[in-house]
Structure 1
Amino acid sequence: MKVIRGLVAAVLILAIGAVVLVVALPGEKIAKLAADQVKAMTGRELVFEGKVGISWYPVLGVTTEKVSFGNAAWSERGPMFTADKAVIGVDVMAAIGGEIRVKNVELVAPEVLLEKTTDGRVNWDLSDGTSPVVSGQSAEAQTGGESAPTSVTSTASQFESFALERLVISDAQVRYIDHGGARQELSGVSLAMTWPDVGGAADVVIEASPFGAPIQLDAVVAAPLALIDGDVSAVELAVQAGGGSARFEGRAGIAPEASGKLAVSASDAAAFLAALGTGGLEGPLAVQGDVTLTRAGVVSVRGGRVTALGNDLTVLADVDLNGVRPKVTAQVATQALRLVEKEGDESSQSVEAAPVGWSKEPIDASALGLVDGTISFAAEAMDLNGIAFGKTRATVKIDRARAVARIQEMEAYEGAVTGLFVANNRNGLSVRGDLKVSQIALQPFLAATADLDKFTGTADFESRFLSSGETLDAIMNNMSGDGRVEVGRGTIEGIDLDKLLRGDVTGGTTVFNSMVASWTIADGVLSNRDLLMKLSRLSATGKGTVGLGLRTIDYVFSPQLNGPDGPSLIVPVKIKGSWSNPSVVPDLEAAVKRSFDKEIKAVEDEAKQKLEKELGLEKKEGQSTEDAIKDKLEKEALRGLQNLLGGN
């Protein structure tokens, strides 16, 4: 019983003591002490507005109404943050002993303003405002209520009695203003920080959904005081977003500045990048490398490696973050690059368009507006959706959503390609090209690019084109330009012009010694009228159109045997239909007509002579038979009229 009575008495004494402590705690003094400690640490004002009350559950301390924290001296935009409510918890045991030490701070619905000046200063750098205060006491306390000169001390000495076990910020709205560039706004941001030992590490967790999907950042800061002093600290950062993660281990400061190793791993690159406010990739994504961020706002990547879209790339880059868009200078290299259409494109195309049509899927060219700069690219081999290339060296320059890709070297189908390609997405997507190709093998090239496999030989050609549109179908149908091709010795499968001229239409192969042609393009239709092909015993001309948009051909070849007085036999061949399955038919009617033009004319001349003799026509010099007959009929009609009227 004595033990029970003792326990009851102890509980009663503690309860009474707690009540007395809560009643005796001066809320205004706690709030003022917190403000003085913040002033000592940062040099900025922490102002509590409205009523200050005592809170004893779940945290012993005070609750305040609106609270604000001062901005940097150079800012003209008001406080760095304001909050609707603040809860300040104190160390109970220290309070019982007569000392008030702040341990917990909770801010409800704060509005945070982050600013960066054109010369690089940031308002979250608190080191510039450090006041000459010692051991967390106010300047007034140090001088007995009278102001007196003090000496500057380090932030570490100011924090000797500080122990912020927990800082909680909920439902924050964050505005970021770069006075030389972008402005951004985030809402629904939460932060939780634990820092139990002023000389130890702090753990920070930040959650936000700036682009719809949640993002969580976990950070371990080894030396928070170093950051407050404007120095760097060892840090570990981990970001979780959209099924992917990113980790950084190294050193960082609030300038901002950082240097360390970065690793990114995402099973779904599209979801991960969408959560971060960007896109352009699908499938798995992996990134690693040594990253440095300088106070001048320049990011450097060394030893970078990127695995995306099934490709493995090495990256060396410098990115200047100052300005409207990041400015990139980079070198990208790969052993083999492979880019293919995603699954389902062919089936969806066959439903929406004719089987021989181009894709009507909208082209997303928004990536052109993400950065400016110059990117050098090198690959030993490339497969671009079934079109194969060998060793390639190219440079891409991007300026305000306009990219110019200049090809210095590109091996393609036993030949070489040089030139430039321009993609401009400033006001809708447009494309332009100026390409030169030398000694390219026609059969594999045309089979890969146009589903044509009937031509062999090596060709030199140059082409210029211009088009615009939001789909590949629109671009091909809006195409304009011109070009020229020269082909050396080659063949045309499926037709033997020599056999055709001897009356054999069973097909075969035409062997030619050379072929030249030029063309113009308008509204997606290529027109040619000057094709000339030379064979061993005959020659051929050609003219017609090729529908680049519709992927059709309507062309006439005219092979001819050459006699002493010119072509003795001409047999036109019509090639018409789709690229993948054109019909090749000789135009025998035209052949007969052309071949017997002389015979038909001779028959006509003989008939006219007989008619002139029978009618007794007297033709004047240069007068045709038709005109002579007309004159004779007019004279006969006049003579008959005179007789009718009784004339002579």
Structure 2
Amino acid sequence: MRLIRVLLMVVVVVCVGLVALVLVLPGEKIARIAADQVKAQTGRDLNFEGDVGISWYPVLGISTGAVTLSNADWSTEGPMLTADSLAIGVDVAALVTGDIRIKKVEALRPDVVLEVDADGRANWSLFPETAATDTPTTTEDTPASGGLFLEKLTIKDARLRYVEAGTAVFDMANSDVSLDWAAPDEPADVTLILRPAGQDITVSARLADLPALLGGEVAALSADVTVAGATLAFDGRAGLDSQAAGQLTADVPNPDKVLKALGQAASGQIDPFNLRGQVTLTKEGQLSLRDTTVMALGNTLTLQADVFTDGERPKVNAQIAAGVLDLSSFAQPAEADVPAQSADNSWSKEVIDASALGLVDGSIAIAASGIDLGDLTLGASRMAVSIDRSRAVFALQDISAYGGKVTGEFVANNRNGLSVGGKIRADNVEMKTLLSDAMKISRFAGKATAQASFLGVGNSVYDIMNTLKGSGSVDVGQGTISGIDLDRLLRSGVSGGGTTVFDSLSATLQIEQGVLSNDDLLLDLPSVQAKGEGVVGLGQRTLDYLFTPQIKRDDQQGLAIPVRINGSWDDPKIRPQLDKALGVDLEAEKERLKDEAETRAQQEISERLNLQPEVGQSTEDAIKDSLEDKAKSKLLELLGGD
């Protein structure tokens, strides 16, 4: 619209100077008069190169060679308008009534620069405002004058540039513009064809009141944009000072094709996108969406949003409501999108581009009846995202998950290098379904309460994982472990199926420099308890952990089978610690068993010898005395004594 207004203003000045003289003056004289008139009215220089000819058929008019219109005196972008040629035709019959009816304006390969400086001055403001005079005028005092009307405008192979505060916002070549306007009181049709990447982007608009629109008023407007099979439609009111309000509709079968037509990189999204809603754009730069429905990535959302563009960065405030959100495509990225690991299977050292955190500020509230994350499924959820100067906080306000609740927040801060952190709490979450979905483990059941906090710094996943620090804890009430009966295994040595019923499970953890340590894991069963301690290298992806199930005894010397798990995450080694398989103190257990055996042997001998130890005499001494007496008796018998 700005381009059309600029061209019409130029045409007005040229025609006022040309039409009245075209019948009596040669082309060169007409060109000089026209240039003088433009200079007097606008302060701009209008130059014609080559011959200026007069055409008589089929319409009266002139044709020129190259044309140049100078820019505002504050601009450094060169001429505001240049063209290889210009042709203007007028309606001779309309001249008789005092009207100037321009039948056509044709420009070949024009180069148009639209520019706004840092103070808000626009280079298309061609006509200075005139001060009010002390003497008022009336309609009767004003001599009648004819109207000016442009019937058809055709621009071929144009280059359109828009510069704001010295920075090029867009620069598009090979563009076409046309205007068809049957009568001053009829709607005008404008068609604009842009080719930023070779494909046609067609903008078709119907302007209900073109004179009012060009005069700075807001007027009814309907427009359609077609590109790469997609359509964008607007029906409402608009003004040239960036005001608009009306119904907006968008149907995009393939977003990536549209991005390609716009000369942008593909996003990888080929699912259809649809939008229906009321849009309002103010001249202060505020964009509002109301009663808006968005269908994208298989989801349907209702949206209320305000975007403010008058600050250092756009500021977005939005509320989004949805049914069950399907985010599985984000949770399971394509193989090509997964950062490659190093040859040693460590975390990726590829630099993370977090510059997107600095594109906007604002806050977005999200409410959904459920969220599908691919492996994980959440219930009714309320979340919020707030972004301020490259720092984003993702708040989990109320998440229903696996029979319990999850709350917490995650933070990504890119103000002075990238850091990520957060804290999370889960209450009464059913571990069986959670572990089954997350890790394909279905043997562990029980309600868990857990919490954790963490912070990592670095520009790659490797750096972040190796600098992690934090803490956490987990507590599980009564539950089961199916597929193994630890009590039977430890008491009878029989392995196999069965179910372990435990009373509780608890542990705390600490994280420093990417290493998680734990020394108080406790799994409590009615007759068995299992303890654990060790470290997990979150940064180096290693394990060194000792898990020790043991039969309960008052003296803490019950049978135990310690198992050490160590090595890399990809190939951990699991080895029973056989030298500790009898308990905490192997030598003490051996001595205890030896003493028990000796005691049992002495009891059996006493019973066979029918011994009655005297007071203060040990069983061992009684046995010795009895054996001596028997030996003496047998010896006497052998010698024939009494």
TM-score, normalised by the number of residues in structure 2: 0.74
> 1:67 maps to which residue?
68
CA contact (8 A) 1:413 1:445 kept: yes
Q: Does 1:207 align with 2:196?
A: no
| Comparing 468-477 and 586-595, the one that deviates more | 468-477
Structure 2 CA distance, aligned partners of 1:365 and 1:244? 31
CA contact (8 A) 2:68 2:79 kept: no
Shift in CA distance, 198/344, structure 1 to aligned 2, threshold 3 Å: same
Secondary structure of 1:563's counterpart equals coil
How much does 1:564 deviate? 3.2
CA contact (8 A) 1:90 1:104 kept: yes
How much does 1:455 deviate? 2.3
Structure 2 CA distance, aligned partners of 1:447 and 1:419? 23
CA contact (8 A) 2:162 2:169 kept: yes
Q: Does 1:27 align with 2:27?
A: yes
Structure 1 CA distance, aligned partners of 2:508 and 2:111? 70
> 1:392 maps to which residue?
381
> 1:81 maps to which residue?
80
> 1:320 maps to which residue?
308
**Counterparts in 2 of 1:262-341, with a 5 A limit?**
262-273=248-259, 275-276=261-262, 277=264, 282=269, 283-341=271-329
CA deviation vs aligned residue, 1:201-230 (integer Å, no higher than 9, x gap): 332232334467653322222222112211
> 1:233 maps to which residue?
219
Name the amino acid aligned to 2:213.
L
Shift in CA distance, 125/82, structure 1 to aligned 2, threshold 3 Å: closer
| Comparing 395-404 and 27-36, the one that deviates more | 27-36
Structure 2 CA distance, aligned partners of 1:273 and 1:152? 55
Structure 2 CA distance, aligned partners of 1:402 and 1:92? 63
Shift in CA distance, 240/552, structure 1 to aligned 2, threshold 3 Å: farther
Q: Does 1:54 align with 2:53?
A: yes
CA contact (8 A) 2:100 2:146 kept: no
CA contact (8 A) 2:557 2:583 kept: no
How much does 1:409 deviate? 0.9
Structure 1 CA distance, aligned partners of 2:253 and 2:278? 22
Structure 1 CA distance, aligned partners of 2:344 and 2:249? 44
**Counterparts in 2 of 1:8-23, with a 5 A limit?**
none
Shift in CA distance, 443/381, structure 1 to aligned 2, threshold 3 Å: same
Name the amino acid aligned to 1:385.
G
Shift in CA distance, 460/178, structure 1 to aligned 2, threshold 3 Å: farther
CA deviation vs aligned residue, 1:405-439 (integer Å, no higher than 9, x gap): 11211111111111111124557754222111111
> 2:426 maps to which residue?
437
How much does 1:533 deviate? 2.4
How much does 1:36 deviate? 8.2
> 1:168 maps to which residue?
155
Structure 2 CA distance, aligned partners of 1:492 and 1:159? 95
CA contact (8 A) 2:406 2:424 kept: yes
| Comparing 243-252 and 566-575, the one that deviates more | 566-575
| Comparing 454-463 and 277-286, the one that deviates more | 277-286
| Number of residue pairs aligned between Structure 1 and Structure 2 | 560
Q: Does 1:115 align with 2:116?
A: yes
Shift in CA distance, 67/398, structure 1 to aligned 2, threshold 3 Å: same
Secondary structure of 1:566's counterpart equals coil
Name the amino acid aligned to 1:526.
L
How much does 1:303 deviate? 0.5
Structure 1 CA distance, aligned partners of 2:177 and 2:455? 56
Structure 2 CA distance, aligned partners of 1:22 and 1:346? 71
Name the amino acid aligned to 1:306.
V
Structure 2 CA distance, aligned partners of 1:62 and 1:584? 91
Name the amino acid aligned to 2:316.
V
> 1:188 maps to which residue?
173
How much does 1:552 deviate? 7.0
Structure 1 CA distance, aligned partners of 2:65 and 2:241? 31
> 2:4 maps to which residue?
none
Name the amino acid aligned to 1:187.
M
Structure 1 unmatched runs, 5+: 1-20, 133-147, 605-648
Name the amino acid aligned to 2:366.
F
Among 519, 522, 533, the alignment partner of 1:532 is 522
Structure 1 CA distance, aligned partners of 2:350 and 2:299? 24
CA contact (8 A) 1:116 1:122 kept: yes
How much does 1:543 deviate? 1.4
Secondary structure of 1:336's counterpart equals strand
Name the amino acid aligned to 1:272.
V
Structure 1 CA distance, aligned partners of 2:398 and 2:185? 59
Name the amino acid aligned to 1:439.
N
| Comparing 281-290 and 193-202, the one that deviates more | 193-202
Name the amino acid aligned to 2:89.
V
Among 404, 411, 420, the alignment partner of 1:415 is 404
Name the amino acid aligned to 1:500.
L
Structure 2 CA distance, aligned partners of 1:340 and 1:361? 24
CA deviation vs aligned residue, 1:280-318 (integer Å, no higher than 9, x gap): 571211111000111111111111111111111110011
> 1:244 maps to which residue?
230
How much does 1:263 deviate? 0.8
> 2:334 maps to which residue?
345
CA contact (8 A) 1:338 1:384 kept: yes
Among 241, 244, 247, the alignment partner of 1:255 is 241
Shift in CA distance, 226/341, structure 1 to aligned 2, threshold 3 Å: same
Structure 2 CA distance, aligned partners of 1:473 and 1:447? 28
CA contact (8 A) 2:88 2:106 kept: yes
> 1:514 maps to which residue?
504
> 2:392 maps to which residue?
403
> 2:448 maps to which residue?
459
Name the amino acid aligned to 2:485.
D
Secondary structure of 2:582's counterpart equals helix
Structure 2 CA distance, aligned partners of 1:215 and 1:294? 25
Shift in CA distance, 372/529, structure 1 to aligned 2, threshold 3 Å: same
CA contact (8 A) 2:305 2:318 kept: yes
CA contact (8 A) 1:242 1:271 kept: yes
> 1:379 maps to which residue?
368
CA contact (8 A) 1:204 1:220 kept: yes
Structure 2 unmatched runs, 5+: 1-20, 595-642
> 1:177 maps to which residue?
164
Shift in CA distance, 301/23, structure 1 to aligned 2, threshold 3 Å: closer
> 1:625 maps to which residue?
none
Name the amino acid aligned to 2:27.
G
Q: Does 1:221 align with 2:207?
A: yes
Shift in CA distance, 199/77, structure 1 to aligned 2, threshold 3 Å: farther
How much does 1:192 deviate? 1.3
Name the amino acid aligned to 2:47.
F
Name the amino acid aligned to 2:276.
Q
Structure 1 CA distance, aligned partners of 2:505 and 2:593? 38
How much does 1:319 deviate? 0.8
Secondary structure of 2:115's counterpart equals strand
Structure 2 CA distance, aligned partners of 1:373 and 1:490? 44
Structure 2 CA distance, aligned partners of 1:554 and 1:448? 26
Shift in CA distance, 386/420, structure 1 to aligned 2, threshold 3 Å: same
CA contact (8 A) 1:46 1:68 kept: yes
Name the amino acid aligned to 1:115.
V
CA contact (8 A) 2:179 2:191 kept: no
CA deviation vs aligned residue, 1:14-53 (integer Å, no higher than 9, x gap): xxxxxxx99965324544676688789x966462254452
Name the amino acid aligned to 1:570.
A
Structure 2 CA distance, aligned partners of 1:247 and 1:203? 15
How much does 1:494 deviate? 3.8
TM-score, normalised by the number of residues in structure 1: 0.73
Secondary structure of 1:463's counterpart equals strand
Quote the sequence identity (%). Answer: 39
Provide the alpha-carbon RMSD of the alignment.
4.4
Structure 2 CA distance, aligned partners of 1:455 and 1:309? 35
Structure 1 CA distance, aligned partners of 2:198 and 2:260? 9
Secondary structure of 1:492's counterpart equals strand
> 2:621 maps to which residue?
none
Secondary structure of 1:448's counterpart equals helix
